[in-house]
Chain A
Amino acid sequence: MSDSDEMPVEAETPVEEVEKGETPVPDGLATVEEKPEEKVADPADAPAIEVTDLWRSFNGLHAVQGISFTVERGQVVGFVGANGAGKTTTMRILATLDYPTRGSAKICGDDVVAYPAKVRQRIGWMPDHYGTYSNMTVLEYLDFFGRALGFKGQDRIDRILDVMEFTDLTSLSDRLIDKLSKGMGQRLCLGRALLHDPDVLILDEPAAGLDPKARVELKHLIRILAEEGKTVFISSHILSELGEMCDSLLFINSGRIIHHGSAESLRKGSAENTVVNVQIMEDPDKLREWAELSPNVKYIDATKQGGRIEIDSVENDVIASVLRRMIKSDLSVIDFHQEERKLEDAFIEILGEIEASGGAIVN
Chain B
Amino acid sequence: MDFPIRSAEHRPGRLQNGPGSPFYKLFKLFKLFKLFKLFKLETSTLNPTPPELPAKPAAPALPAAVPLEQKLADFPSRLSPVLVKELRQGLRTNLFVIAFILLQTFMILCLLAGLANPGSNDSNGFFWFFIAATLLIIQPLRGFNALSGEYQLNTMDLIQLTRLNGWRITLGKWTALNAQGLLFLVGVLPYLVIRYFIGNVNLVTDIAALGCVGLASGLLTAITIGCSVFKSIILRGILLFVLAILAVSAFAAVGNSVFGRYGRAPDATLGIMLAVTAVYGILFFLSFGASRIAPLSENQATRKRLIAIGFALLFQVFYFFDAEEAVISITGVILGLACIDALTEPLPVFGRVCTPFRNNLLLRWPGVFLCPGWISGIFFFIFCSALWWGSAVVYGAVTGDAFLDQIEDVVVFASMANLIIFPLLIMHLFFARYSSMNHTFGIYLFTQAALFGITLMVMAIANALRHWEEIAYLAVPIPSVFIAAGMDGNDVDEPVHLIIVVLIFALCVSFPLLRQFRSVRAFFSALVKSPD
Q: Name A residues whose Cβ lies closer than 8 Å to a Cβ of B.
A: 1-8, 10, 13-19, 21, 25, 27-32, 34, 36, 59, 92, 95-97, 99, 113-114, 116-117, 120, 123, 125, 127, 129-136, 139-140, 143-145, 147-150, 152-153, 156-157, 160-161, 164, 170, 173, 192
Contacts and interface: CB of A to CB of B under 8 A. Distances in A.
B158 A18 contact: no
Given A18-B351, A25-B518, 20 more contacts: A1-B171, A8-B299, A14-B531, A16-B526, A18-B525, A21-B518, A29-B296, A97-B160, A99-B297, A114-B352, A120-B162, A133-B153, A143-B72, A143-B84, A144-B84, A147-B77, A147-B81, A148-B163, A157-B68, A161-B69
B316 to A, nearest CB: 26
Given A14-B355, A14-B531, A145-B158, A31 B347 contact: yes
A18 B153 contact: no
A97 B164 CA distance: 14
Nearest to B153: A131
Contacts of B526: 16, 18
B265 to A, nearest CB: 39
Contacts of B160: 97
Interface in B82-129: 82, 84-85, 88-89, 92-93
B266 to A, nearest CB: 34
Contacts, number: 181
A133 B89 contact: yes
Given A4-B78, A140-B88, A30 B163 contact: no
B69 A157 contact: yes
Contacts of A150: 162-163
Interface in B237-258: none
A213 B92 CA distance: 33
A192 B159 CA distance: 11
B493 interface: no
B158 A131 contact: yes
Interface string B496-519: 000000000000000000000011
Interface in B371-386: 373
Nearest to A158: B69
Chain A, interface SS category? loop
Nearest to B171: A1
B289 interface: no
Nearest to B175: A1
Given A16-B526, A133-B155, A3 B80 contact: yes
- Of A17, A59, A125, A132, most B-chain CB atoms within 10 Å: A17
Interface of B: 68-69, 71-73, 77-82, 84-85, 88-89, 92-93, 150, 153-155, 157-165, 167-168, 171, 295-299, 346-352, 354-356, 358-359, 373, 433, 436-437, 518-519, 521-522, 525-526, 529, 531-532
Contacts of B354: 16
Given A16-B531, A28-B436, A127 B154 contact: yes
B355 A30 contact: no
A97 to B, nearest CB: 5
B349 A127 contact: no
A137 B302 CA distance: 37
Contacts of A7: 163-165, 168
A95 to B, nearest CB: 7
A16 B158 contact: no
B79 A3 contact: yes
Contacts of A113: 297, 349, 351-352
A153 B155 CA distance: 24
Given A16-B531, A129-B154, A147-B84, A30 B349 contact: yes
A17 B162 contact: no
Given A21-B518, A30-B373, A136 B85 contact: yes
Contacts of A132: 153
B436 A27 contact: yes
A32 B351 contact: yes
B346 to A, nearest CB: 7
A125 B89 contact: no
A164 B531 CA distance: 45
Contacts of B69: 157, 161
A158 B157 CA distance: 25
Contacts of B158: 125, 127, 130-131, 145, 192
Contacts of B521: 19
Contacts of B347: 28-31
B515 to A, nearest CB: 14
B350 A17 contact: no
29 contacts: A1-B167, A2-B80, A3-B77, A3-B80, A13-B355, A15-B531, A19-B529, A30-B347, A30-B349, A30-B519, A31-B347, A59-B433, A97-B157, A97-B295, A113-B349, A114-B351, A116-B295, A127-B157, A131-B153, A135-B88, A135-B92, A136-B85, A136-B89, A139-B72, A148-B162, A149-B163, A161-B69, A164-B68, A173-B71
A117 B352 CA distance: 12
A123 to B, nearest CB: 8
Contacts of B162: 120, 145, 148-150
Contact of A173 (B68, B88, B351): B68
A28 B163 CA distance: 26
Pairs A-B, 4 closest by C-beta atoms: A30-B347, A131-B155, A147-B81, A148-B162
Nearest to B84: A147
Contacts of A164: 68
A133 B354 CA distance: 36
A157 B157 contact: no
A135 B89 contact: yes
Given A18-B350, A131-B155, A30 B68 contact: no
A8 B163 CA distance: 9
Contacts of A134: 89
B402 to A, nearest CB: 45
Nearest to B154: A131
A143 B92 CA distance: 17
Nearest to B168: A1
A253 B447 CA distance: 41
A116 B351 contact: no
A58 B521 CA distance: 21
Nearest to A119: B161
B79 A34 contact: no
B359 A14 contact: yes
A332 B522 CA distance: 76
A263 to B, nearest CB: 30
Contacts of B171: 1
Contacts of A27: 433, 436-437
Given A27-B433, A31-B350, A130-B154, A10 B297 contact: yes
B524 to A, nearest CB: 10
Given A3-B81, A96-B295, A136-B89, A28 B519 contact: yes
B529 A18 contact: yes
Contacts of B529: 17-19
A97 B159 CA distance: 11
